[in-house]
């Protein structure tokens, strides 16, 4: 922007009756002195990206895969329960054992490929080290105590506190256990070494169930925390 002041020589040399004018042409055009003052443009702040696009896509695809696998897995469980209870049919997927297995396999491929892509992107982009480390027991305890007292800050969504780091690393490990134990349950004969490491087919079923229960517990806690801090949901949708 340019501000222009027009001053005549008569005004410069001290005529008391002279009047200053802005953007006007005086009678003595030859005596006009123009002063240009350049004002710097107003700087615009670029929005900060909290979650890149690839992270948001894998997050929502993983949410869909988990929903499919858990609800269909409950239907499969009902066909041969491990404990003295069944899951209500209203929260299961597939309608019967065969239908549930088909849904479970569909969710399995999505969960597996999406999970591998997520882990590789975290490793090769450096996000794994940047977001989840360092991690110390003292830091986890301090942040957990602050969270229980309602004093844990969430001002910068790009920064994970110690509790978040521990929870996300746990759910990554839990996902790997789910896949490995699921392979034993699905193809026990084809993976003899993995079956032995799991303690046998029957033990693998318990491991798979407990890993699923841990994942559901994480999801419930995750949803509660999102409800308490709604801007985290907006950031996972818009990226900022």
Residue 157: per-residue pLDDT: 77
What is the pLDDT at residue 161?
85
Contacts of 232-237 spanning 24+ positions with Cβ under 8 A: 232/154, 232/157, 235/50, 235/51, 235/157, 236/51, 236/56, 236/59, 236/60, 237/56
Contact yes or no for 160/131 (Cβ under 8 A) = yes
Residue-level pLDDT at 42: 53
239 within 8 A of 52, measured Cβ to Cβ: yes
Measured from the Cβ of residue 111, the count of other Cβ atoms closer than 10 Å reads 22
Q: What is the pLDDT of residue 40?
A: 52
* Distance set, CA 37 to CA 2, 3, 21 (Å): 6, 6, 16
Query: What is the mean predicted confidence (pLDDT) over 48-76?
Result: 94
- Give residue 145's pLDDT: 87
Give pLDDT, residue 201: 95
- The average confidence (pLDDT) of the chain is 83
Long-range contacts of 169-176 (CB under 8 A, 24+ apart): 169/132, 169/135, 170/214, 170/218, 171/215, 171/218, 172/119, 174/211, 174/214, 174/215, 174/218, 175/111, 175/115, 175/215
pLDDT at 23 over 50: no
Give the integer Cα–Cα distance in Å for 61 and 161: 24
pLDDT in tens, 154-207: 667 778 889 899 999 999 999 999 999 999 999 999 999 999 999 999 999 999
Token pair listed for 197: 């490491």
Please report which confidence band the pLDDT of residue 210 belongs to, taking 50, 70 and 90 as the band edges.
very high
Q: Give yes or no for residue 26 having a pLDDT over 70.
A: no
Position with higher pLDDT, 122 vs 154:
122
pLDDT band of residue 17 (cuts 50, 70, 90) is very low
Within 8 A by CB and 6+ apart from 234, the residues are: none
* Ramachandran category for residue 199: left, alpha or beta (phi over 0 → left; psi -120 to 50 → alpha): left
Find the mean pLDDT for residues 15-34.
46
Mean pLDDT calculated for residue range 105-133: 94
Q: What is the mean pLDDT of residues 13-27?
A: 46
pLDDT of residue 43: 53
Q: Please return the burial class of 187, using the count of CB atoms within 10 Å of its CB with bins 0-12, 13-18 and 19+.
A: exposed
7: β partners:
33
Strands (E), the chain: 2-7, 21-22, 33-38
Higher pLDDT, 31 or 196: 196
Euclidean distance between CA atoms 5 and 23, whole angstroms: 7
């Amino acid at each position: 922007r340019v501000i222009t002041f027009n001053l005549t020589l008569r005004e410069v040399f001290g005529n008391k009756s002279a009047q200053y004018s802005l953007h006007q042409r005086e009678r003595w055009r030859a005596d006009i002195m123009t002063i240009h003052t350049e004002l710097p443009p107003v700087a615009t702040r670029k929005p900060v990206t909290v979650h890149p696009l690839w992270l948001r896509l894998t997050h929502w695809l993983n949410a869909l895969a988990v929903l499919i696998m858990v609800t269909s897995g409950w239907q499969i469980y009902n066909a041969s329960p491990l404990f003295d209870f069944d899951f209500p049919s209203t929260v299961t997927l597939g309608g019967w054992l065969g239908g549930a297995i088909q849904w479970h396999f569909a969710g399995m491929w999505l969960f597996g490929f999406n999970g591998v892509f997520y882990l590789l992107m975290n490793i090769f982009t450096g996000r794994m080290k940047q977001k989840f480390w360092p991690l110390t027991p003292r830091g986890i305890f301090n942040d957990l105590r602050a969270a229980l007292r309602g004093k844990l800050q969430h001002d910068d969504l790009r920064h994970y506190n110690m509790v978040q780091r521990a929870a996300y690393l746990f759910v990554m490990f839990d996902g790997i256990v789910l896949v490995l134990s699921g392979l034993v349950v699905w193809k026990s004969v084809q993976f003899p070494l993995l079956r032995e490491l799991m303690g046998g087919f029957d033990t693998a079923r318990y491991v798979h169930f407990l890993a699923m229960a841990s994942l559901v517990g994480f999801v419930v806690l995750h949803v509660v925390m999102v409800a308490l801090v709604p801007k985290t949901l907006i950031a996972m949708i818009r990226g900022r």
